[in-house]
């Protein structure tokens, strides 16, 4: 059985104090939630403090990235081992903002995914097309290639730990959301692509939707059979909205 997951990607927002306050509110307001796994992904500077708050709760701790090398002379990078060592359980890898602004390609992302897995961290691997690709009707091919170039290169046991996030770039931070039909159609396609390599194991993969997901649209999107939750940006910075989204299951 695949898990329902709602993950909050805080991106480059909040100070440490604000992040600790936000997670405290999330803990408080999520007490009666049972059918969904919550995950928060604060900036690197707050991971330790947020992790301390999360001790004894079921809320998962994620980073938003990790280095593509294991250790050494890579100024400014944070390794998967360092993250695992402070209790990080998940890492968002391949977010479209990383692909676009920091030119992360599949080769780099595969290294990150492998290092995360080697350190016991579950990757939340992001895929998604941009507006031109959608308009040219290439979105199915784009996500297929993104998955084949990375996920197809990990072994079957590791595959069980992977979470996929489908985030159409044109819906991120724009207020535009994929319709629930568009989300279902491409999530089903992603599961089909995964099953080409991993057969029935793809049935157990949680595939999250991301892109202007909010309390007002989450219910309809999460009701789709191949949508197993959301990767939330802006709305994850408000505890009430984040919990309202999680209660949409």
Q: Using CB under 6 A, which of the segments 70-78, 137-145, 153-161, 231-239 binds ligand 13P?
A: 231-239
Give the Å distances, CA to CA, from 217 to 167, 208, 212, 224. 15, 14, 9, 12
> Applying CB under 6 A, which of residues 40, 183, 202, 231 lies at the interface with ligand 13P?
231
38 makes contact with ligand 13P (CB under 6 A)? no
Query: Considering only residues 233, 239, 242, 248, which one is a binding residue for ligand 13P as defined by CB under 6 A?
Result: 233
State yes or no: residue 238 binds ligand 13P (CB under 6 A): no
Is 187 assigned a catalytic role? no
Distances (CA, A) of 51 to 29, 38, 47, 217: 17, 13, 6, 29
User: Count of CB atoms within 10 A of residue 157's CB?
Assistant: 9
Environment class of residue 56 by beta-carbon count within 10 Å: exposed (0-12), middle (13-18) or buried (19+)?
A: exposed
Sole binder of ligand 13P in the list 213, 218, 221, 239 (CB under 6 A) = 213
Check if 203 is active-site. Answer: no
Closest CA to 170 of 136, 217, 206, 123: 136
Q: Is position 168 an interface residue for ligand 13P (rule: CB under 6 A)?
A: no
* 94 is an interface residue for ligand 13P by CB under 6 A: no
Residue nearest to ligand 13P (CB): 233
Q: What is the DSSP string of 16-77?
A: HHHHHHHHHHHHHHTTT--SSEEEEE--GGGHHHHHHHHTTSS-EEEES---SSSSSS-TT-
Catalytic residue, chosen from 97, 133, 167, 187, is: 167
Is 143 one of the binding residues for ligand 13P (CB under 6 A)?
no
Q: How far apart are CA 129 and CA 140, in angstroms?
A: 8
The window from 47-55, 109-117, 197-205, 226-234 that contacts ligand 13P (CB under 6 A) reads 226-234
Q: Which stretch binds ligand 13P (CB under 6 A): 25-33, 189-197, 198-206, 207-215?
A: 207-215
User: H or E element: which one contains 85?
Assistant: helix 80-85
Per rule CB under 6 A, is residue 211 in the interface with ligand 13P? yes
Instruction: Kindly state whether residue 194 participates in binding ligand 13P, applying the rule CB under 6 A.
Output: no
Q: Which residues are catalytic?
A: 95, 167
- Residues binding ligand 13P (CB under 6 A): 9, 95, 167, 172-173, 210-213, 231-235
């Amino acid at each position: 059985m695949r898990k329902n997951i709602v993950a909050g990607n805080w991106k480059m927002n909040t100070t440490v104090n604000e992040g600790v306050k936000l997670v405290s509110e999330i803990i408080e307001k999520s007490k009666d939630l049972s059918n969904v796994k919550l995950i928060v992904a604060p900036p690197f500077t707050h991971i330790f403090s947020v992790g301390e708050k999360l001790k004894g709760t079921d809320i998962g701790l994620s980073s938003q990235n990790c280095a593509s090398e294991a250790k050494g002379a890579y100024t400014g990078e944070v390794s998967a081992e360092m993250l695992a060592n402070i209790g990080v359980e998940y890492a968002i890898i391949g977010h479209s903002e990383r692909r676009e602004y920091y030119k992360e390609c599949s080769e780099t992302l595969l290294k990150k995914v492998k290092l995360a897995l080697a350190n016991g961290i579950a990757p939340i691997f992001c895929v998604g097309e941009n507006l031109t690709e959608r308009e040219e009707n290439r979105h199915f091919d784009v996500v297929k290639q993104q998955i084949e170039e990375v996920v197809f290169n990990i072994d079957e046991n590791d595959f069980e730990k992977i979470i996929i996030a489908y985030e159409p770039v044109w819906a991120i931070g724009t207020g535009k959301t994929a319709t629930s039909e568009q989300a279902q159609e491409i999530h089903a396609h992603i599961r089909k692509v995964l099953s080409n390599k991993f057969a029935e194991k793809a049935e157990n993969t949680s595939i999250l939707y991301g892109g202007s997901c909010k309390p007002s649209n989450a219910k309809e999107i999460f009701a789709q059979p191949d949508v197993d939750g959301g990767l939330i940006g802006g709305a994850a910075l408000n505890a009430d909205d984040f919990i309202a989204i999680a209660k949409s299951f």
